[in-house]
């Protein structure tokens, strides 16, 4: 039963929708957390420390954070695997090229595929930049994310990578949220309109909220 569901296109789309919504929830929380940078280094670093101590004393140091990490990794893997398998299926199902070229996937599909690839690459870069410090410009200081964020957004390539990724994120969330709602069967005309508006609002708020951080550093509002 589970096997048949996973093998079906509807099953894969459901997996994409649910894993996508889990990541979306994380993004809303992460974006709100990032805005604490506007309240200064003390508050921002304190918040980052709290991410590691949340759940104490019931949970040990960093356990809650590791639970979030495991859930996110599972969501990313399931989302990417089903996206890849659905797109292979889609390509195989297309008629062989009988004129000059194969019919191309539509605009939304292509945007989602490229957006997904850009975001996957961005997440790897972002973790190496601000979590492990491997590609971080300047001396990465564990436990001092405020200074690390300032260092990243003091380079032209840091700003470029993050801003391009956030624009890709906005487009991905806008279309992805809408598709997820369709898959999970939200549809009637009035509700569809409301969901489309919600998809647009979420995409806009996330993009502007995330981009406000590099922009604030570039303009010296945060330093
Ligand atoms: C301008 C935008 C962003 C900024 C300034 C930012 C900032 C940060 C910072 C400072 C950390 C390290 C937190 C700490 O160690 O205490 C972090 C971790 C992380 N961020 Fe972001 N972030 C941004 C956008 C994003 C986006 C768009 C995603 C996902 C698509 C994302 C996913 C993550 C993940 C998965 C972690 C690792 C959490 C962990 O395992 O410790 N971030 N971010």
Predicted confidence (pLDDT) per residue in 94-105, tens digit: 766 555 666 677
6 CA to centre of ligand 1 in angstroms: 31
Using a 6 Å cutoff on CB, does residue 121 contact ligand 1? Answer: no
- Here the tokens at position 2 are 């589970």
28 CB near ligand 1 (under 6 Å) = no
What pLDDT is recorded for position 128? 98
Residue partners of 176: CB distance under 8 A and separation at least 6: 20, 24, 112
Tell me if 131 CB under 6 Å of ligand 1. Answer: yes
Q: What is the C-alpha to C-alpha distance for residues 122 and 73, in angstroms, rounded to an integer?
A: 14
Longest dimension (CA), the chain: 67
Domain harbouring 181, CATH code = 1.20.1300.10
What CA–CA distance (Å, rounded) separates 121 from 144?
A: 24
Is there a domain that residue 210 lies in? yes
Residue 71 lies in a domain: yes
Whole-number pLDDT of residue 8: 87
For 54-83, the pLDDT digits (tens) are 999 999 999 999 999 999 999 999 999 999
Q: What is the spatial distance between Cα 120 and Cα 72, in angstroms, rounded to a whole number?
A: 13
Owning domain of residue 211: 2-93+104-219
Any ligand 1 atom below 6 A from CB of 53: no
Distance separating alpha carbons of residues 120 and 116, to the nearest angstrom: 6
Nearest C-alpha neighbor of 168 from the set 134, 136, 203, 197: 203
Please say whether the beta carbons of 168 and 125 come within 8 A: no
Phi, psi of 139 (to 5 degrees): -80, 115
Position 67 in a domain: yes
Has this prediction a pTM greater than 0.85? Answer: yes
Instruction: Report how many domains make up the chain.
Output: 1
The verdict on residue 98 lying in a domain is no
Q: Which residue has the tokens 């539509």?
A: 106
- Note whether residue 188 is domain-resident: yes
- The percent of residues in the chain predicted with pLDDT above 70, rounded, is 94
Region 103-120 average pLDDT: 88
pLDDT band at 120 (very low <50, low <70, confident <90, very high): very high
> What does the chain come to in residues?
223
Residue 53: inside a domain: yes
Please classify residue 105 by burial: count the beta carbons closer than 10 Å to its beta carbon, then call 0-12 exposed, 13-18 middle and 19+ buried.
Answer: middle
Asked whether residue 99 is assigned to any structural domain, the reply reads no
């Amino acid at each position: 039963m589970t096997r048949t569901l996973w093998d079906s296109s509807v099953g894969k789309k459901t997996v994409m929708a649910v894993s996508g919504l889990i990541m979306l929830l994380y993004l809303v929380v992460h974006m709100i957390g990032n805005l604490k940078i506007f309240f200064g280094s003390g508050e921002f670093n304190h918040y980052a420390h709290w991410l590691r101590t949340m759940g104490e004393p019931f949970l040990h140091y960093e356990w809650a954070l590791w639970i979030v990490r495991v859930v996110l990794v599972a969501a990313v893997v399931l989302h990417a695997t089903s996206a890849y398998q659905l797109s292979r299926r889609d390509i195989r199902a297309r008629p062989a090229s009988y004129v000059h070229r194969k019919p191309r996937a539509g605009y939304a599909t292509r945007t989602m595929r490229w957006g997904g690839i850009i975001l996957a690459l961005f997440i790897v870069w972002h973790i190496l930049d601000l979590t492990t410090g491997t590609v971080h410009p300047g001396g990465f200081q564990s436990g001092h994310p405020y200074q690390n964020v300032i260092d990243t957004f003091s380079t032209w390539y840091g700003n470029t990578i993050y801003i391009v990724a956030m624009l890709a994120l906005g487009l991905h969330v806008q279309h992805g949220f809408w598709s997820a709602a369709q898959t999970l069967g939200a549809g009637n005309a009035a509700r569809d309109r409301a969901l489309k508006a919600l998809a647009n609002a979420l995409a806009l708020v996330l993009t502007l909220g995330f981009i406000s951080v590099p922009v604030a550093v570039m303009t010296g509002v945060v330093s």
